[in-house]
Amino acid sequence: MLNVKNGIVLTGCLAAMLGTFACNKTTQEASKTTTENGTSTAPSGSEAKRADTALVRFVNATLDPKDIFFGDTKPVSNLAAGSVTPYMQLPTERHEFKLFDAGRSTGDPLSTDSEGPSAGSHYTVVAMMKEDGKPALNVISDDLDRPTPGKAKIRVIHTAPGVGDVDVYPINGKDALISGVGFAKAASYKEVDPGITELDVRRHGSKRDELKVKDVHLDPDKLYTVILMGGKGQPLTANVIEDQLVNSVG
């Protein structure tokens, strides 16, 4: 279980701003991803590298369905608000990610982000709203490095405008599990003890819970991404993504 009384020793890279590629190793194993929409599998990073492709998934943290292009191709159609796609293989050529409202993929996009994904690397592309209310596309590097045996890993991606920096506490915890995650930033993975817990999201330095994410199952040898959504007059919500490295996709 999470060490509630004395806190947890956390490891990992420094927090990375959205829109940057950082700390991304090429996996030698396939991955299995579970969200509220079900479970999907993806090839290993080494297999994707041999095919000169990157592994990319998309998250819609806006309030409306979205289409997303990569160059002239459209890997994402009508992605519902709050939804996450499986990892998909995209070419490593430099193209623009382009964001549109679903079904309105003509004219100027709502937002663009020019990227050249690295072969064999994993990325999460987030459609979100900026503080000024305008849409944005941001690319996050996913470091799917296997946890120490018997441990789990967890990180937070903060896409809720108007909330400010946030801390995340385990239930009844005196010490923050993850502290000071700013808007439009992603905390890198932290290693923790496994267990079933509640994650309490608070404004940085506050003792008041803004959101309780209940019944979070942190299983050993798995990695978890908590995406904080809402803000700007909308209630805070969280989408939890579970990743696991596996020997095969079968």
Residues 106-135: pLDDT tens digits? 899 999 999 889 999 999 999 999 999 999
Tracing tokens 């990227």 back to the chain, one arrives at 115
- pLDDT band of 188, cuts 50, 70, 90: confident
Cβ within 8 Å of residue 236, ≥6 positions away:
160, 163, 201, 210, 211, 228, 229, 230
Residue 48 main-chain phi, psi, to 5 deg: -65, -35
- Tens digits of residue pLDDT in 198-237: 999 999 999 999 999 999 999 999 999 999 999 998 999 9
DSSP letters for 147-162: PPTT-EEEEEEE--TT
Which tens digits make up the pLDDT trace of 59-85?
999 999 999 999 999 999 999 999 999
Chain CA centroid to CA 52, Å: 23
DSSP conformation class of 49: H
Residue 174 confidence class, pLDDT cut points 50, 70, 90: confident
State residue 19's pLDDT score.
Answer: 42
Q: In what order do the strands lie in the sheet with 66-70?
A: 73-79, 66-70, 95-101, 111-115
Q: Average the pLDDT over 43-65 and give the result.
A: 97
